[in-house]
Chains A and B, each alone.
Chain A
């Protein structure tokens, strides 16, 4: 996914299906091979008991079981239009639910880095509409082991910590955020 794109909410695919609560929408993207593929944008519809205003956003083609395949590798003819349409769906949802936050999982380091680069490239535009945070997960060190075989990390005790993403902030691929969250700018 080493491709650069520009977000522009005036350059969108037609959203041909949407749910009444704006959590589900679909549009058709043209691929480089001339095919057209339906893509779905889905916002989770049940909040976490402990995080009542944070919802997950996923997008991609549907697999044969009707689930979003967020690891599908597609060659879109117009990445700018694809990602602009996905984020416009998110903007429409947040516009109707201004106290909610939307989150995107970086399923692996490469994808998370791709998202981060895209945020940086489009920061000025995105910053007009959203507050964007990168989340890192920190694991507690219980104590340093007496021998090299002792495990000092408590992987049951993890603290997610949000960092506001700013223009030009730098982070290496190895230390990439685990999760991205955004909400509507005041």
Chain B
């Protein structure tokens, strides 16, 4: 990662931590992926495949 991007990332993170608005209340995640995964076995297999891909 070049220095210019690193500086921009550091500046944005600083802005968020020091002057950012309060984080929103938690809301359930809703996506097609989260809807199709219904069991722990499915989720574990998916994460295994994702890490190995």
Contacts and interface: CB of A to CB of B under 8 A. Distances in A.
19 contacts: A10-B4, A20-B16, A21-B20, A21-B23, A44-B31, A45-B25, A45-B26, A46-B28, A48-B29, A48-B43, A89-B12, A92-B9, A92-B12, A105-B33, A128-B1, A133-B50, A137-B36, A159-B42, A160-B33
A177 to B, nearest CB: 11
Nearest to B44: A50
A46 B26 contact: yes
Interface residues of B, number: 38
Interface of A: 9-10, 12, 15, 17-24, 44-48, 50-51, 53-56, 88-89, 91-92, 95-96, 101, 103, 105, 128-129, 133, 135, 137, 156, 158-164, 178-179, 181
Contacts of A54: 33-34
B24 A19 contact: yes
Given A10-B4, A20-B17, A24-B21, A50 B40 contact: yes
Nearest to A179: B33
A89 to B, nearest CB: 8
Given A17-B21, A18-B15, A19-B23, A181 B37 contact: no
A23 B8 contact: no
A23 B42 CA distance: 27
Contacts of A56: 29-31, 33-34
A19 B16 contact: yes
B21 A163 contact: no
A47 B1 CA distance: 28
Contacts of B46: 51, 159-162
Contacts of B30: 44, 56
B21 to A, nearest CB: 5
**A-B complex: 9 closest residue pairs judged by Cβ atoms:** A50-B43, A20-B20, A44-B29, A56-B31, A46-B26, A21-B23, A158-B36, A48-B34, A164-B53
A178 B50 contact: no
Given A18-B16, A19-B21, A159-B42, A51 B49 contact: no
A19 B20 contact: yes
A23 B24 contact: yes
